[in-house]
Amino acid sequence: MHKLQVKDLHYDQGVAHVRFREKREKKFSVMLHPVVQSALFAYLQEAGNRDTPDAPLFLSMKGKAYTPNPLSTKQIYNIIRDHGKKE
């Protein structure tokens, strides 16, 4: 399974997109809402991996510190699910 990396975040005509790869290397891109784009760039700045293309896009945390390990797909799903429950 492909783990998202910082280099999977790109711009097309000034709009941020995230490139995904599925089974059999099928590729697609998802446009980010401006609020999501701002939050993602703030996170990348805080995590310190904004200028490292091969770094994981989403890092795990230990306590309040980021680790070099990527979040798993299940962890990302749980974060999104839990956030949705708060809305």
List the domains of the chain with CATH numbers.
6-86 (1.10.443.10)
Token output for 62: 């230990």
Give the separation between CA 3 and CA 52, rounded to whole angstroms: 15
Query: 56: which DSSP letter?
Result: B
Nearest-Å Rg of the Cα atoms of the chain is 13
Q: In the predicted model, is pLDDT for residue 21 greater than 80? A: no
**Please, which pLDDT band fits residue 2 given cuts at 50, 70 and 90?**
low
Q: Which residue has the higher pLDDT, 83 or 7?
A: 7
**Please, which pLDDT band fits residue 53 given cuts at 50, 70 and 90?**
very high
- What is the average pLDDT value for the chain, to the nearest integer? 84
| C-beta neighbour count of 44 within 10 angstroms | 19
Give the separation between CA 30 and CA 16, rounded to whole angstroms: 9
Give the separation between CA 71 and CA 3, rounded to whole angstroms: 9
Q: In the predicted model, is pLDDT for residue 33 greater than 80? A: yes
